[in-house]
Amino acid sequence: MTKPPVGSNRTGRKLGQRVKKGKLKASSRRWLERHINDPYVQRAKLEGYRARAAFKLLEIDEKHQILKGARRIIDLGAAPGSWSQIAANVTRSTDEDIRVAAIDFLEMAPLPGVTILQLDFLDPDAPRQLKEAIGGRPDVVLSDMASPTTGHQKTDHLRTMHLCEVAAYFAVEVLAEGGHFLAKTFQGGTERELLTMLKQNFRQVIHVKPGASRQESVEMFLLAKHFKGRSATPSDDPAEDGVEAEVELEPASEA
Ligand SMILES: C[S@@+](CC[C@H](N)C(=O)[O-])C[C@H]1O[C@@H](n2cnc3c(N)ncnc32)[C@H](O)[C@@H]1O
């Protein structure tokens, strides 16, 4: 990846430079200005990540150490691929010994050490294909899946929450004991039933909002740590049933 000069971007514009009026709708211009001036976008380019989302995962990992020692990782909703880049790096995955499987219905440019499935995760065959792709139980299941926006906020939230829920049940089905599950969700959006299921299957369940997640966005991440294993049953620890997940907010940090 060609690195742009510090303080500017690929378009040659300086940080803070305004986008010319006239050619774009006001909402598109606001988005573009925010994107151009976003320090995480600049930093992603400089550090060779495909998306600013990389820093959400890196910040969560810095605090919660979910990637350390992971041998296999599954990345759901992976395009354009910054989380998969991190996953391949952590697992030292190579094309000869693949340890990362990524899925997205959008096309994603190839990445060394990553098997990419261009498929809807909700396709009934997706779980089987993902399991086969890494040839062993993953230590981490990541999901940054967000439903394509329809313009109707409530519909978008419900669809993304559904993806989070399906990803959670998939994680419980495939994770190695002691493994971790991280998924995108929304503030106040996680269903009590889902939290209860996660509490029954993981030793710790929390909501986190990394600094790289825009403060004005209702996006949050659900983190379930230390999978108890498939022999654990709900009745193992009834005191945990129905307990709310703690919420942990990270201060926004400058990139
Ligand atoms: C925020 S982006 C992921 C960014 C990614 N973590 C990265 O670091 O580059 C969310 C992705 O989820 C994908 N997605 C949404 N619903 C999906 C589904 N049902 N199956 C597969 N991918 C899905 C979208 O196509 C989109 O590429």
- Reported as a single tens digit per residue, the pLDDT across 88-107 is 999 999 999 999 999 999 99
Query: 185: CA distance to ligand 1 center in Å?
Result: 13
Query: 102: CA distance to ligand 1 center in Å?
Result: 10
Q: Which of 49, 76, 103, 144 is the pocket-test mutation for ligand 1 (most atoms within 8 Å of CB)? A: 144
Query: How high is the pLDDT of residue 20?
Result: 55
**pTM (2 d.p.):** 0.84
The neighbouring-strand residues paired with 186 are 219
Query: How high is the pLDDT of residue 191?
Result: 83
Active site residues: 184
Q: What is the mean pLDDT of residues 30-58?
A: 89
Closest-CA residue, ligand 1 atom 5, reads 78
53, 56, 104, 152, 246 from 161: Cα distances, Å: 19, 19, 17, 14, 18
How many other CB atoms sit within 10 Å of the CB of residue 103?
A: 27
Query: How high is the pLDDT of residue 166?
Result: 97
Q: What is the mean pLDDT of the chain?
A: 85
Q: Which of 105, 122, 214 is the pocket-test mutation for ligand 1 (most atoms within 8 Å of CB)? A: 105
Burial classification of residue 183, based on how many CB atoms lie within 10 Å of its CB (0-12 exposed, 13-18 middle, 19 or more buried) = buried
Q: How far apart are CA 77 and CA 162, in angstroms?
A: 13
Query: How high is the pLDDT of residue 233?
Result: 57
Q: What is the DSSP letter of 190?
A: S
Q: What residues flank ligand 1, with Cβ below 6 Å?
A: 50-51, 53-54, 77-83, 103-106, 120-122, 144-147, 163
> Which tens digit of pLDDT belongs to each residue from 58-68?
999 999 999 99
Residue 43 has pLDDT above 80, yes or no: yes
The response to whether 144 counts as a known ligand-binding position is: yes
The response to whether 81 counts as a known ligand-binding position is: yes
Query: 244: CA distance to ligand 1 center in Å?
Result: 27
Full set of structural domains in the chain with CATH: 54-249 (3.40.50.150)
Least trusted range by pLDDT, from 166-170, 174-178, 188-192, 214-218: 188-192
The neighbouring-strand residues paired with 224 are 181, 205
Nearest to 121 by CA among 187, 165, 152, 72: 165
Query: 77: CA distance to ligand 1 center in Å?
Result: 3
Closest atom of ligand 1 to 75 CA is 6
